[in-house]
Amino acid sequence: MALLLRACLCLFAVLVFVDGSETKLIVREDEDAILPCSLGAADISSRVFDWKKDGRVEVFIYDDGRYYGKGLSGQHEQFRGRVFHFPEQLKGGNASIVIRKSKPADSGTYACIFPHEQPERRAHVELIVGASPRPIITANETSDGMLLLCEVNSASPEPVLEWRNSSGNILPAEKPQVSEKNGSYSVVLQTTVTKSGRYRCVSTQQKIHHQVYTETHVNVHEGAAPKPVIAVKETKDGLLLQCEVYSASPKPEVVFRDSSGNILAAEPQVTERGGSYDVILETTVTKSGDYQCVATQKEINHQRSTETRVNVPSGDSTPWIVLVGVLVVVLVFVAVGAVGAVWFHIKKKKTLKKKYEETTATGA
Protein backbone atom coordinates (compact mmCIF):
# COMPACT_ATOMS: atom_id res chain seq x y z
CA MET A 1 0.00 0.00 0.00
CA ALA A 2 2.84 2.40 0.88
CA LEU A 3 4.55 1.59 -2.44
CA LEU A 4 1.32 2.23 -4.33
CA LEU A 5 0.79 5.54 -2.52
CA ARG A 6 4.35 6.61 -3.34
CA ALA A 7 3.90 5.67 -6.97
CA CYS A 8 0.66 7.68 -7.17
CA LEU A 9 2.32 10.65 -5.47
CA CYS A 10 5.23 10.58 -7.90
CA LEU A 11 2.88 10.37 -10.87
CA PHE A 12 0.78 13.26 -9.54
CA ALA A 13 3.81 15.37 -8.67
CA VAL A 14 5.51 15.17 -12.05
CA LEU A 15 2.31 16.40 -13.66
CA VAL A 16 2.94 19.88 -12.21
CA PHE A 17 6.23 21.23 -13.52
CA VAL A 18 7.70 24.51 -12.39
CA ASP A 19 6.89 26.37 -15.57
CA GLY A 20 4.36 28.97 -14.40
CA SER A 21 1.45 26.54 -14.72
CA GLU A 22 -1.43 26.34 -12.25
CA THR A 23 -3.57 23.47 -11.03
CA LYS A 24 -6.61 23.20 -8.79
CA LEU A 25 -6.76 20.85 -5.81
CA ILE A 26 -9.96 20.14 -3.87
CA VAL A 27 -9.94 18.27 -0.56
CA ARG A 28 -12.34 17.87 2.32
CA GLU A 29 -11.75 19.35 5.75
CA ASP A 30 -9.42 17.23 7.94
CA GLU A 31 -8.00 15.40 4.92
CA ASP A 32 -4.30 15.69 4.03
CA ALA A 33 -3.68 17.99 1.05
CA ILE A 34 -0.70 17.14 -1.22
CA LEU A 35 0.43 20.20 -3.18
CA PRO A 36 2.40 18.94 -6.19
CA CYS A 37 5.54 20.58 -7.61
CA SER A 38 8.44 19.19 -9.67
CA LEU A 39 11.55 20.37 -11.45
CA GLY A 40 11.46 17.40 -13.73
CA ALA A 41 14.03 14.66 -13.13
CA ALA A 42 16.70 17.02 -11.74
CA ASP A 43 18.25 16.33 -8.34
CA ILE A 44 17.05 19.18 -6.08
CA SER A 45 18.46 17.88 -2.79
CA SER A 46 21.08 20.67 -2.73
CA ARG A 47 18.86 23.42 -4.14
CA VAL A 48 16.38 25.92 -2.69
CA PHE A 49 12.63 25.85 -3.17
CA ASP A 50 10.08 27.97 -1.35
CA TRP A 51 6.33 27.56 -0.84
CA LYS A 52 4.21 30.68 -0.19
CA LYS A 53 0.46 31.15 0.22
CA ASP A 54 -1.27 34.09 -1.43
CA GLY A 55 2.10 35.59 -2.32
CA ARG A 56 3.22 36.44 1.21
CA VAL A 57 2.54 33.75 3.82
CA GLU A 58 5.53 31.49 4.48
CA VAL A 59 4.39 27.87 4.20
CA PHE A 60 7.61 25.86 3.70
CA ILE A 61 11.17 26.43 2.54
CA TYR A 62 13.92 23.92 1.74
CA ASP A 63 17.55 25.01 1.48
CA ASP A 64 20.17 22.32 0.83
CA GLY A 65 18.96 19.97 3.58
CA ARG A 66 17.69 22.64 5.95
CA TYR A 67 14.01 23.52 6.27
CA TYR A 68 11.45 24.88 8.73
CA GLY A 69 11.76 22.93 11.91
CA LYS A 70 15.28 21.85 11.06
CA GLY A 71 17.71 24.74 10.95
CA LEU A 72 15.37 27.38 9.50
CA SER A 73 12.81 29.68 11.15
CA GLY A 74 10.13 32.06 9.90
CA GLN A 75 7.30 29.66 9.08
CA HIS A 76 3.81 31.10 9.57
CA GLU A 77 2.16 29.76 12.72
CA GLN A 78 -0.83 28.50 10.73
CA PHE A 79 1.41 25.85 9.11
CA ARG A 80 3.79 25.13 11.97
CA GLY A 81 4.00 21.38 12.57
CA ARG A 82 1.52 20.64 9.75
CA VAL A 83 3.60 20.90 6.54
CA PHE A 84 6.10 18.28 5.38
CA HIS A 85 8.08 17.51 2.22
CA PHE A 86 9.25 14.21 0.72
CA PRO A 87 13.01 13.93 1.39
CA GLU A 88 13.38 10.54 -0.30
CA GLN A 89 12.09 11.97 -3.58
CA LEU A 90 14.26 15.12 -3.77
CA LYS A 91 16.79 13.40 -6.03
CA GLY A 92 13.97 12.82 -8.50
CA GLY A 93 13.03 16.53 -8.58
CA ASN A 94 9.94 16.26 -6.36
CA ALA A 95 9.36 19.51 -4.40
CA SER A 96 5.79 18.63 -3.35
CA ILE A 97 4.54 19.24 0.18
CA VAL A 98 1.69 17.81 2.25
CA ILE A 99 -0.53 19.83 4.60
CA ARG A 100 -1.83 17.61 7.38
CA LYS A 101 -5.48 17.84 8.51
CA SER A 102 -6.41 20.66 6.15
CA LYS A 103 -8.95 23.27 7.24
CA PRO A 104 -10.96 25.94 5.40
CA ALA A 105 -8.44 28.64 6.37
CA ASP A 106 -5.84 26.76 4.28
CA SER A 107 -7.77 27.52 1.09
CA GLY A 108 -5.89 29.86 -1.23
CA THR A 109 -3.29 30.06 -3.99
CA TYR A 110 0.09 28.48 -3.28
CA ALA A 111 3.30 29.19 -5.20
CA CYS A 112 6.19 26.72 -5.51
CA ILE A 113 9.28 28.82 -6.28
CA PHE A 114 12.86 27.94 -7.23
CA PRO A 115 14.37 31.41 -6.67
CA HIS A 116 17.97 30.57 -7.70
CA GLU A 117 17.13 29.02 -11.05
CA GLN A 118 17.86 31.05 -14.16
CA PRO A 119 15.28 32.10 -15.02
CA GLU A 120 13.34 31.75 -11.79
CA ARG A 121 10.96 28.76 -11.94
CA ARG A 122 7.58 28.65 -10.26
CA ALA A 123 4.20 26.94 -10.38
CA HIS A 124 0.87 27.64 -8.68
CA VAL A 125 -1.66 25.42 -6.94
CA GLU A 126 -5.13 26.61 -6.00
CA LEU A 127 -6.20 24.73 -2.88
CA ILE A 128 -9.86 24.52 -1.93
CA VAL A 129 -10.64 22.92 1.41
CA GLY A 130 -14.29 22.02 1.50
CA ALA A 131 -16.29 21.78 4.71
CA SER A 132 -19.76 20.50 3.98
CA PRO A 133 -21.84 20.00 7.13
CA ARG A 134 -25.36 18.71 6.79
CA PRO A 135 -28.14 21.34 7.15
CA ILE A 136 -30.03 21.57 10.45
CA ILE A 137 -33.80 22.14 10.28
CA THR A 138 -36.05 23.58 12.97
CA ALA A 139 -39.81 24.18 12.67
CA ASN A 140 -41.84 26.72 14.63
CA GLU A 141 -45.58 27.16 14.43
CA THR A 142 -46.80 30.69 13.76
CA SER A 143 -50.14 32.35 13.09
CA ASP A 144 -49.33 32.18 9.35
CA GLY A 145 -48.40 28.49 9.21
CA MET A 146 -45.13 26.69 9.92
CA LEU A 147 -41.86 28.63 9.93
CA LEU A 148 -39.02 26.41 8.65
CA LEU A 149 -35.48 27.43 9.55
CA CYS A 150 -32.44 25.89 7.84
CA GLU A 151 -28.92 26.39 9.23
CA VAL A 152 -25.54 25.41 7.82
CA ASN A 153 -22.57 26.24 10.03
CA SER A 154 -18.82 26.37 9.34
CA ALA A 155 -19.09 25.55 5.63
CA SER A 156 -16.41 26.29 3.05
CA PRO A 157 -16.67 27.48 0.35
CA GLU A 158 -19.86 29.48 0.88
CA PRO A 159 -22.92 27.28 0.25
CA VAL A 160 -26.15 28.21 -1.50
CA LEU A 161 -29.26 27.09 0.40
CA GLU A 162 -32.67 26.28 -1.08
CA TRP A 163 -35.96 25.09 0.33
CA ARG A 164 -37.77 22.49 -1.81
CA ASN A 165 -41.14 20.76 -1.42
CA SER A 166 -41.82 17.05 -2.02
CA SER A 167 -42.18 17.74 -5.76
CA GLY A 168 -38.71 19.29 -5.92
CA ASN A 169 -40.01 22.81 -6.51
CA ILE A 170 -37.98 25.65 -5.01
CA LEU A 171 -39.97 27.56 -2.38
CA PRO A 172 -39.88 31.33 -1.96
CA ALA A 173 -37.78 32.26 1.04
CA GLU A 174 -36.44 35.27 2.85
CA LYS A 175 -33.00 36.64 2.00
CA PRO A 176 -30.36 34.30 3.48
CA GLN A 177 -28.43 35.51 6.52
CA VAL A 178 -24.72 34.93 5.88
CA SER A 179 -21.77 35.37 8.25
CA GLU A 180 -18.09 34.59 7.63
CA LYS A 181 -15.20 33.82 9.96
CA ASN A 182 -11.73 32.65 8.95
CA GLY A 183 -12.90 31.39 5.59
CA SER A 184 -15.88 29.45 7.01
CA TYR A 185 -19.46 30.46 6.34
CA SER A 186 -22.64 30.12 8.37
CA VAL A 187 -25.92 30.55 6.47
CA VAL A 188 -29.52 30.69 7.69
CA LEU A 189 -32.51 30.45 5.34
CA GLN A 190 -36.14 30.53 6.42
CA THR A 191 -39.49 30.05 4.71
CA THR A 192 -43.11 29.69 5.84
CA VAL A 193 -45.29 26.82 4.61
CA THR A 194 -49.06 26.46 4.95
CA LYS A 195 -49.52 22.82 3.93
CA SER A 196 -48.50 19.57 5.58
CA GLY A 197 -45.89 17.49 3.79
CA ARG A 198 -42.18 16.75 3.34
CA TYR A 199 -39.76 19.63 2.90
CA ARG A 200 -36.06 19.56 2.10
CA CYS A 201 -33.26 22.07 2.71
CA VAL A 202 -30.54 21.67 0.08
CA SER A 203 -26.99 23.00 0.51
CA THR A 204 -24.95 23.31 -2.69
CA GLN A 205 -21.26 24.18 -2.98
CA GLN A 206 -20.77 24.52 -6.71
CA LYS A 207 -17.08 25.27 -6.40
CA ILE A 208 -16.33 21.82 -5.00
CA HIS A 209 -19.19 20.06 -6.81
CA HIS A 210 -20.84 19.07 -3.56
CA GLN A 211 -24.46 18.93 -2.47
CA VAL A 212 -26.08 17.71 0.74
CA TYR A 213 -29.61 18.00 2.13
CA THR A 214 -31.80 17.38 5.17
CA GLU A 215 -35.48 16.49 4.95
CA THR A 216 -38.30 16.91 7.44
CA HIS A 217 -42.05 16.29 7.60
CA VAL A 218 -44.35 18.95 9.05
CA ASN A 219 -48.01 18.95 10.01
CA VAL A 220 -49.75 22.25 9.47
CA HIS A 221 -53.14 22.53 11.20
CA GLU A 222 -55.17 24.79 8.94
CA GLY A 223 -57.74 25.46 11.67
CA ALA A 224 -55.22 25.99 14.44
CA ALA A 225 -56.11 28.85 16.73
CA PRO A 226 -54.19 32.08 16.11
CA LYS A 227 -52.45 33.90 18.94
CA PRO A 228 -55.07 35.33 21.35
CA VAL A 229 -55.57 39.09 21.42
CA ILE A 230 -55.95 40.80 24.81
CA ALA A 231 -57.64 44.17 25.40
CA VAL A 232 -57.71 46.03 28.75
CA LYS A 233 -60.43 48.44 29.87
CA GLU A 234 -60.68 50.37 33.14
CA THR A 235 -63.94 50.08 35.09
CA LYS A 236 -65.18 51.19 38.49
CA ASP A 237 -64.60 47.66 39.79
CA GLY A 238 -61.01 47.27 38.50
CA LEU A 239 -59.63 46.36 35.09
CA LEU A 240 -61.67 44.41 32.55
CA LEU A 241 -59.52 41.93 30.57
CA GLN A 242 -60.94 40.79 27.24
CA CYS A 243 -59.42 37.91 25.25
CA GLU A 244 -60.41 37.25 21.62
CA VAL A 245 -59.68 34.17 19.48
CA TYR A 246 -61.07 34.11 15.93
CA SER A 247 -61.53 31.52 13.15
CA ALA A 248 -60.35 28.52 15.15
CA SER A 249 -61.25 24.93 14.33
CA PRO A 250 -61.84 22.74 16.23
CA LYS A 251 -63.44 24.80 18.99
CA PRO A 252 -60.78 26.03 21.40
CA GLU A 253 -60.99 26.15 25.17
CA VAL A 254 -60.04 29.68 26.26
CA VAL A 255 -59.10 30.55 29.84
CA PHE A 256 -57.46 33.39 31.75
CA ARG A 257 -54.65 32.52 34.17
CA ASP A 258 -52.87 34.65 36.76
CA SER A 259 -49.09 34.64 37.34
CA SER A 260 -49.46 31.58 39.60
CA GLY A 261 -51.24 29.61 36.88
CA ASN A 262 -54.65 29.76 38.56
CA ILE A 263 -57.65 29.88 36.22
CA LEU A 264 -59.76 33.01 36.69
CA ALA A 265 -63.55 32.95 36.71
CA ALA A 266 -64.95 33.92 33.30
CA GLU A 267 -67.76 32.90 30.95
CA PRO A 268 -66.83 32.64 27.23
CA GLN A 269 -68.97 34.03 24.42
CA VAL A 270 -68.80 31.58 21.50
CA THR A 271 -70.01 32.02 17.92
CA GLU A 272 -69.68 29.52 15.06
CA ARG A 273 -69.44 30.14 11.32
CA GLY A 274 -68.95 27.28 8.86
CA GLY A 275 -67.12 25.08 11.34
CA SER A 276 -64.85 27.88 12.61
CA TYR A 277 -65.24 29.35 16.07
CA ASP A 278 -64.85 32.84 17.49
CA VAL A 279 -64.40 33.02 21.25
CA ILE A 280 -64.48 36.11 23.49
CA LEU A 281 -63.61 35.78 27.17
CA GLU A 282 -63.88 38.55 29.77
CA THR A 283 -62.79 38.77 33.40
CA THR A 284 -62.24 41.60 35.88
CA VAL A 285 -59.10 41.80 37.99
CA THR A 286 -58.45 43.99 41.02
CA LYS A 287 -54.75 43.32 41.50
CA SER A 288 -51.76 44.39 39.44
CA GLY A 289 -49.69 41.61 37.86
CA ASP A 290 -49.15 39.33 34.85
CA TYR A 291 -52.17 37.66 33.26
CA GLN A 292 -52.28 35.11 30.44
CA CYS A 293 -54.97 34.13 27.98
CA VAL A 294 -54.56 30.51 26.82
CA ALA A 295 -56.34 28.90 23.86
CA THR A 296 -56.17 25.08 23.75
CA GLN A 297 -57.33 22.69 21.00
CA LYS A 298 -56.80 19.22 22.47
CA GLU A 299 -57.97 17.40 19.32
CA ILE A 300 -54.97 18.68 17.35
CA ASN A 301 -52.55 19.09 20.28
CA HIS A 302 -52.37 22.82 19.72
CA GLN A 303 -52.03 25.62 22.27
CA ARG A 304 -51.35 29.34 21.93
CA SER A 305 -51.14 32.02 24.61
CA THR A 306 -50.72 35.74 25.06
CA GLU A 307 -49.53 37.45 28.24
CA THR A 308 -50.05 40.98 29.45
CA ARG A 309 -49.12 42.99 32.53
CA VAL A 310 -51.66 45.32 34.13
CA ASN A 311 -51.47 47.97 36.83
CA VAL A 312 -54.67 48.35 38.81
CA PRO A 313 -55.10 51.82 40.43
CA SER A 314 -54.60 51.36 44.20
CA GLY A 315 -57.39 52.18 46.73
CA ASP A 316 -60.58 54.30 46.61
CA SER A 317 -60.22 58.10 46.35
CA THR A 318 -63.55 58.80 48.15
CA PRO A 319 -62.07 59.03 51.72
CA TRP A 320 -59.51 61.52 50.54
CA ILE A 321 -62.21 63.66 48.96
CA VAL A 322 -64.23 63.61 52.21
CA LEU A 323 -61.17 64.48 54.26
CA VAL A 324 -60.31 67.38 51.99
CA GLY A 325 -63.91 68.60 52.20
CA VAL A 326 -63.86 68.51 56.02
CA LEU A 327 -60.59 70.42 56.10
CA VAL A 328 -62.02 73.08 53.81
CA VAL A 329 -65.10 73.49 56.04
CA VAL A 330 -62.93 73.73 59.17
CA LEU A 331 -60.72 76.35 57.54
CA VAL A 332 -63.81 78.34 56.54
CA PHE A 333 -65.16 78.27 60.08
CA VAL A 334 -61.80 79.31 61.49
CA ALA A 335 -61.57 82.15 59.02
CA VAL A 336 -65.13 83.32 59.75
CA GLY A 337 -64.48 83.12 63.50
CA ALA A 338 -61.31 85.14 63.20
CA VAL A 339 -63.01 87.81 61.11
CA GLY A 340 -65.94 87.94 63.64
CA ALA A 341 -63.57 88.31 66.57
CA VAL A 342 -61.72 91.17 64.89
CA TRP A 343 -65.02 92.88 64.02
CA PHE A 344 -66.31 92.46 67.59
CA HIS A 345 -63.09 93.86 69.03
CA ILE A 346 -63.25 96.92 66.78
CA LYS A 347 -66.93 97.52 67.57
CA LYS A 348 -66.34 97.22 71.31
CA LYS A 349 -63.48 99.67 71.10
CA LYS A 350 -65.63 102.19 69.26
CA THR A 351 -68.42 101.82 71.87
CA LEU A 352 -66.05 102.50 74.77
CA LYS A 353 -64.62 105.48 72.98
CA LYS A 354 -68.10 106.92 72.42
CA LYS A 355 -69.08 106.49 76.11
CA TYR A 356 -65.88 108.18 77.15
CA GLU A 357 -66.57 111.15 74.91
CA GLU A 358 -70.14 111.45 76.23
CA THR A 359 -68.93 111.36 79.85
CA THR A 360 -66.37 114.04 79.21
CA ALA A 361 -68.94 116.27 77.56
CA THR A 362 -71.38 115.98 80.50
CA GLY A 363 -68.70 116.85 83.10
CA ALA A 364 -67.80 119.94 81.23
> In the chain, pLDDT over 90 holds for what percent of residues?
59
What pLDDT sits at residue 7? 39
pLDDT, tens digit, for every residue of 151-177?
999 999 999 999 999 999 999 999 999
Query: Tell me, what DSSP letter sits at residue 144?
Result: T
75-89, 133-147, 324-338: which is most confident: 75-89
| Mean pLDDT value across residues 63-75 | 91
User: How does the average pLDDT of the chain come out, rounded?
Assistant: 86
Name the pLDDT band for 6 (thresholds 50, 70, 90). very low
Question: Residue 307: which H helix or E strand, with range?
Answer: strand 302-310
| Mean pLDDT value across residues 197-223 | 90
CATH of domain 2-130: 2.60.40.10
Residue 201 and residue 193 in contact, taking contact as beta carbons nearer than 8 Å: no
Q: Write out the CATH class of domain 229-310.
A: mainly beta
What pLDDT sits at residue 152? 96
Three-state SS sequence of 169-237: CECCCCCCEEEEECCEEEEEEEEEECCCEEEEEEEEEHHHCEEEEEEEEECCCCCCCCCCEEEEEEECC
> In the chain, pLDDT over 70 holds for what percent of residues?
82
What pLDDT sits at residue 353? 64
| Mean pLDDT value across residues 13-34 | 74
What pLDDT sits at residue 354? 65
Longest CA–CA span in the chain (Å) reads 163
Radius of gyration of the chain (CA): 44
As separate numbers, helices (DSSP H) first and strands (DSSP E) second, the chain gives 2, 24
The pTM of this model reads 0.53
What pLDDT sits at residue 222? 67
Name the pLDDT band for 9 (thresholds 50, 70, 90). very low
Rounded to whole angstroms, the Cα distance separating 211 from 56 reads 33
Nearest Cα to 41, choosing from 66, 18, 67?
18
Q: Domain extents for the chain?
A: 2-130, 136-218, 229-310
pLDDT, tens digit, for every residue of 263-319?
999 999 999 988 889 999 999 999 999 999 999 988 887 888 999 999 988 755 455
Establish whether domains 2-130 and 136-218 are of one fold: yes
Between 54 and 316, where is the model more confident? Answer: 54
What pLDDT sits at residue 276? 86
What pLDDT sits at residue 240? 94
| Cis? peptide before 115, omega within 30° of 0 | no
For the cut 80, the answer to whether the pLDDT of residue 81 exceeds it is yes
pLDDT, tens digit, for every residue of 174-192?
999 999 988 889 999 999 9
For the cut 60, the answer to whether the pLDDT of residue 202 exceeds it is yes
Q: Write out the CATH class of domain 136-218.
A: mainly beta
